[in-house]
Amino acid sequence: MAKEIIVGIDLGTTNSVISYMQPDGKVKVIPNPEGTNTTPSVVGFKGSGEEIIGNAAKRQAITNPDTVSSAKRKMGTADKFHIGCLDKDYTPQEISAKVLAYMKDYAEKNIGSP
């Protein structure tokens, strides 16, 4: 049986972090694909359906009105984010889920385990 890996995620309003417990009991932050320890909690959308998450989404936010940041702040409300290029509404939970899925994906690649 494979050894269990304990992972922790801090879903932040502005930035998020994912880490895991090493066999010696120390916690190690898993860097995102750009090598930074924090991932901006930002999701951008393009008309093609492409989703841009994290640092890349933050960089293009000023030129892309279909970019959502600080979605966590709206959790628990009926507010939705309208994405014009897709003519679709997303809840804060759906936006945050995209950030979490992105982090899960790069963490699995980093530690080599699902």
> Can you give the CATH number for the domain in which 35 is found?
3.30.420.40
pLDDT digits (tens, 9 = 90+) for 86-102: 999 999 999 999 999 99
For position 3, what pLDDT does the model report? 75
Backbone φ/ψ region at 73: left (φ over 0), alpha (ψ -120 to 50), beta: alpha
Is the pLDDT at 53 greater than 70? The verdict is yes
- pLDDT at 4 > cutoff 90: no
Q: What integer is the mean pLDDT of 34-62?
A: 96
Is 80 part of a structural domain of the chain?
Answer: yes
Q: Are strands 7-10 and 81-83 parallel, antiparallel or unpaired?
A: unpaired
The whole-angstrom separation of Cα 109 and Cα 59 is 24
Is residue 76 predicted with pLDDT exceeding 80?
Answer: yes
Does 62 fall in a domain?
A: yes
> For residue 63, is it within any domain?
yes
Q: Tell me, what's the pLDDT at 2?
A: 63
- Among 91, 95, 105, which residue's Cα sits nearest to residue 11? 95
DSSP string, 89-108: EE-HHHHHHHHHHHHHHHHH
Looking at the chain, the whole-number percentage of residues with pLDDT higher than 70 is 97
Q: How many domains does the chain have?
A: 1
- Residue 79 structural domain: 7-111
